[in-house]
Amino acid sequence: MKPTRRYALTVFLLLYVLLVHAQKDTAHYHGKIIDMHVHIAVMPGEENTMSGERNHTLANIRTYMAAANVEKAAIITIAQKGNMADTRQRNDSIIALSKKYPSLIPVCSVHPMDGADAFAEMERVHKQGVSIIKLHPNSQGFDVGAPEVASLAKKAGELHLVLLFDSYSPVDNNEIGKLIMLAAMNQDTRFIFAHMGLVNFPQLLTIEALKKYPWYKNNIWCDISAIAPVLGHSPFHDQLVWTIRTIGVDQFLFGSDYPVFNPADAIKSVHGMGFTRAEEQLLFYGNASRLLQQ
Ligand SMILES: [Zn+2]
């Protein structure tokens, strides 16, 4: 081959590779991210309790945020039953961190079985600017169908608080139904179902039926933490994406579930699900931004 022809071929191949790469890259959303599900260690010794691979210290979370273009992260603690001193200390730590670092969204917690004390704590953190309360039926050991949970959901609506509920129970197969009923009965309370029900996600299609009622205020959101890396590339992929689109992409939020999942993998798993760039923008940023401003 003549040198000029070889040169032209090299240039052509280089341009081709660059063009293909550019097309691939612009197919995905690479803007700022809001991570709606980040656990943070606030008590001594707590930092190595959730993952064998990474500690959920403030320093590690801030490093991850800078590396992955995460503009805001919702930092979560979980209250224990019957220990209000611990609950208040956890919540105060979360609030103090969010005041020091405005990129951290405070997610406080109460235990529904703490009754009036839990309500008082919700009021106290609400006055300090907190808008999200975390509840974890499985690890906190309560039944979503309990009357105390219904009272708490009503109270959250009065205070304009969002309830971030873990939505996967390995022991209560009816939990998704109970969560949906709770949201249906408390239209003024906004709910985020964390992990989108995980392996029980098809049950969330009941929301599609709720949407037909004139009184339904679209008060259910889901975060796709854990479910995206676990099921995003599985044989369930098509069902999962179809379920999200049927319920409405507008109601879904990105979360990494740091430190349980490698956040880079969590982001990559969403990129691999085949959403359009516009849908990815909503999942990674737009929807959370809208929810936080409501
Ligand atoms: Zn979690």
Query: Which class for 288: exposed (0-12), middle (13-18), buried (19 or more C-beta within 10 A)?
Result: buried
Note whether 232 and 96 are same-domain residues. Answer: yes
What's the number of domains the chain is made of?
A: 2
For residue 22, give its domain range.
Answer: 1-30
**What token pair was written down for 59?**
């320093």
Averaged pLDDT, 205-234: 97
Averaged pLDDT, 207-212: 94
Note whether 200 and 275 are same-domain residues. Answer: yes
Nearest to 132 by CA among 95, 103, 100, 99: 95
- Higher pLDDT: 66 or 3? It is 66
For 45, other C-beta atoms within 10 Å of its C-beta total 7
Averaged pLDDT, 155-160: 98
**What token pair was written down for 32?**
């700022």
**What token pair was written down for 200?**
């029980």
SS3 label, residue 100: helix
Which CATH number fits the domain that encloses residue 278? 3.20.20.140
Note whether 26 and 40 are same-domain residues. Answer: no
Note whether 229 and 288 are same-domain residues. Answer: yes
| Ligand 1 centroid – CA 77 distance (Å) | 9
| Ligand 1 centroid – CA 76 distance (Å) | 8
Note whether 11 and 106 are same-domain residues. Answer: no
| Beta bridge pairs of residue 33 | 70
Note whether 87 and 111 are same-domain residues. Answer: yes
Cα 294–chain centre separation: 17
Note whether 186 and 48 are same-domain residues. Answer: yes
| Ligand 1 centroid – CA 133 distance (Å) | 13
Residues 72-94 have pLDDT tens digits of 999 999 999 999 999 999 999 99
Note whether 58 and 198 are same-domain residues. Answer: yes
Question: Residue 213 above 80 pLDDT?
Answer: yes
Spell out the residues 6+ positions from residue 162 whose beta carbon is closer than 8 angstroms to its own: 131, 132, 133, 156, 189, 190, 191, 192, 291
Residues 162-198 have pLDDT tens digits of 999 999 999 999 999 999 999 999 999 999 999 999 9
Note whether 2 and 138 are same-domain residues. Answer: no
Note whether 25 and 159 are same-domain residues. Answer: no
Note whether 17 and 56 are same-domain residues. Answer: no
The Cα 55–Cα 44 span in angstroms is 12
| Residue 250 pLDDT grade (very low, low, confident, very high; cuts 50, 70, 90) | very high
Note whether 285 and 170 are same-domain residues. Answer: yes
Of the chain, the percentage scoring pLDDT greater than 70 comes to 91
Question: Residue 29 above 80 pLDDT?
Answer: yes
| Ligand 1 centroid – CA 266 distance (Å) | 13
